[in-house]
C-alpha cells in the first residue's frame, strides 16, 4: 500500500541529512510511502541513516473508512495512520516527498539511482521498494465503485462491521467455497453466487449445506445499489438477490515493474492468488535491493506491512554497518 500525497511542511534537520540539494548520496531510498515504507523509514532515521521516501499517492485502502487489526489503532482512518506516520518520520529528520519513481538502476559504483517523473534523480546505497499491489477485480457493472465499502474480500478487515448481515460471496476462483465457509463465522446469512465458476464437488456442497450456505446458480450481471448503498446483485436472468455486501476474491498483482531490471524474481503466492517478489525473511530480494509490505507478500495486512518494513530496515542497517566498517578498516589500513 502506498500513502496519500503529502502537502504539509517538512523538517529535514538531521546530522546525516543537510538537504536533498547538498546530499551526494542517501543511505536508503524508499519507494512507496505506505505503512511498510514509513515503518522502515522510521526505524532507519532512528538509526541515524539518511532516508528519502518517495510516494506516488495511490493508497490501496483509500476507499475504506477505517483500518482494523492494527493494535492500538483499530478503527483509525487509513489516511490518518499515514499522516501520523509521516509526521513521526519527519520528527527524526526523515524526508518524505510527493512524486513517482519511474526508474531504478544500479550505478557503476554499486549503489543505485532513482529517477522521478519530474526528471530529478537521487543516488542511494540501498533501495527499499514498498509499492504495494493492485487488486484485479471481477469486471461487473457497479462492482469497482463499491470496492472497500460494501464489496470486500477480507473477513478480518470487514467481517465484524458486516456481522449478521446478508452476504453474497461471488465465486471467482477455486477457493470460493472455502471463502464462503470462512465468512459464515461472521454471518448466518451467506449465499454463494456461482457466477461463472465451475460447479462444486459433492463434498463441497455437503460442507456448504452443513453451515447453512445456499448456492445461487446463474451469472451475475451487475451490482444493485440504492442511496449509495449496495442492496443486492442482479443475475443475467433479471432476478435480484438481496444482499447487504458482496465478497469477492480478487487476484493480487504486486507492483514490481521498477524492480524488473534489478535481478529480482517474481513468484506466484503459495495460495495461487497472485504474484509477488521473492525475498528472504529480511526483505532482501537482490543484492542491495529490499522489499516489504504487499509487494513481498500479497496477503499482508496493515500491521504485517508495517512490521515487515521495520524488519527490512533493521537488516538494511546491519548491511550498511558492515559496509561502513569494511570501508573504515580499509581506510585505516591504507593510512598505516
Per-residue pLDDT reduced to its tens digit, 85-140: 999 999 999 999 999 999 999 998 889 999 999 999 999 999 999 999 999 999 99
pLDDT at 30: 98
Say if pTM beats, i.e. exceeds, 0.85.
yes
Torsion of CA 290, 291, 292, 294, to 10 degrees: 180
The rounded distance, in Å, linking the Cα atoms of 262 and 131 is: 15
Give pLDDT tens digits for 39-56.
999 999 999 999 999 998
Q: Is the pLDDT of residue 5 over 60?
A: no
Half-sphere exposure of 71 (CA within 13 A, CB side): 5
The rounded distance, in Å, linking the Cα atoms of 213 and 231 is: 19
pLDDT at 335: 87
146-158 in b/e form (b: 16+ CB < 10 A) is bbbebbbbebebb
Name the phi and psi angles at 111, rounded to 5: -85, -155
Domains for the chain: give ranges and CATH numbers.
Answer: 26-135+251-335 (3.50.50.60), 138-247 (3.50.50.60)
Give pLDDT tens digits for 68-78.
888 888 988 88
Mean pLDDT for 220-228 is 97
Amino acid at each position: 500500500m502506498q500513502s496519500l500525497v503529502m502537502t504539509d511542511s517538512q523538517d529535514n534537520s538531521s546530522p546525516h541529512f543537510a538537504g536533498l540539494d547538498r546530499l551526494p548520496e542517501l543511505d536508503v531510498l524508499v519507494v512507496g510511502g505506505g505503512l511498510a515504507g514509513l515503518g522502515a523509514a522510521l526505524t532507519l532515521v532512528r538509526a541515524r541513516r539518511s532516508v528519502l521516501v518517495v510516494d506516488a499517492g495511490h493508497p490501496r485502502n483509500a476507499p475504506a473508512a477505517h483500518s482494523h487489526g492494527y493494535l492500538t489503532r483499530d478503527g483509525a482512518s487509513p489516511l490518518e495512520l499515514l499522516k501520523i506516520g509521516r509526521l513521526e518520520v519527519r520528527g527524526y529528520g526523515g524526508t518524505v516527498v510527493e512524486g513517482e519513481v519511474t526508474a531504478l538502476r544500479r550505478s557503476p559504483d554499486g549503489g543505485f539511482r532513482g529517477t522521478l517523473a519530474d526528471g530529478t534523480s537521487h543516488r542511494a546505497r540501498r533501495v527499499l521498494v514498498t509499492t504495494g499491489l493492485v487488486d484485479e477485480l471481477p469486471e461487473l457493472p457497479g462492482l469497482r465503485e463499491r470496492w472497500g465499502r460494501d464489496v470486500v474480500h477480507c473477513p478480518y478487515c470487514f467481517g465484524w462491521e458486516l456481522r449478521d448481515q446478508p452476504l453474497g460471496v461471488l465465486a471467482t476462483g477455486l477457493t470460493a467455497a472455502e471463502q464462503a465457509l470462512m465468512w459464515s463465522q461472521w454471518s448466518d446469512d451467506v449465499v454463494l453466487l456461482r457466477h461463472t465458476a465451475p460447479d462444486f464437488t459433492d463434498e463441497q456442497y455437503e460442507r456448504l449445506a452443513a453451515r447453512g450456505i445456499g448456492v445461487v446458480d446463474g451469472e451475475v450481471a451487475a451490482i444493485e445499489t440504492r442511496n449509495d448503498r449496495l442492496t443486492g446483485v442482479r443475475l443475467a436472468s433479471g432476478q435480484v438477490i438481496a444482499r447487504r455486501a458482496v465478497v469477492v476474491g480478487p487476484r493480487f498483482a504486486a507492483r514490481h515493474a521498477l524492480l524488473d531490471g534489478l535481478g529480482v524474481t517474481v513468484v506466484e503466492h503459495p495460495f495461487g492468488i497472485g504474484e509477488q517478489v521473492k525475498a528472504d525473511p529480511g526483505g532482501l530480494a537482490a543484492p542491495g535491493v529490499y522489499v516489504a509490505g504487499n509487494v513481498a507478500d500479497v496477503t499482508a495486512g496493515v500491521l504485517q506491512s508495517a512490521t515487515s518494513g521495520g524488519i527490512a530496515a533493521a537488516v538494511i542497517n546491519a548491511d550498511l554497518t558492515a559496509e561502513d566498517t569494511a570501508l573504515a578498516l580499509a581506510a585505516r589500513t591504507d593510512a598505516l
